[in-house]
Amino acid sequence: MAQGLHGGLSPFNASGYEIFDQEFGETGEVVIWSRSPLPPRLGERFNIETWGAVHDLAVDEVRTFTGGWTAVCRLPEEPT
């Protein structure tokens, strides 16, 4: 993982983001981290390529912090 000038995480670029998908196979979720001033909304969908396929994931949790946000995205539950 890249380290920024101040020892913190560094996105792809100054206004970019990082996707953490190491546990997708076990949990069905990814975490998106960004410095963007506009966080996603709950329920918003993202197409994310991971584990050799494109997955339609829904934002389930959003946390904001000074200078950015994180979002937990999960596979949407199938209707029963």
**Domain locations in the chain as residue ranges:** 17-74
Residue 39: φ, ψ to 5°: -75, 155
pLDDT single digits (tens) 22-48: 989 899 999 999 988 889 999 999 999
What's the mean pLDDT in 8-18? 60
User: Was domain 17-74 assigned CATH 2.30.30?
Assistant: no
| Cα–Cα dist 80/68, whole Å | 36
Q: pTM for the whole thing?
A: 0.75
Which of 40, 35, 38 shows the shortest CA–CA distance to 62? 40
| Cα–Cα dist 16/18, whole Å | 7
CB 14 within 8 Å of CB 55: no
Residue 40: φ, ψ to 5°: -70, 165
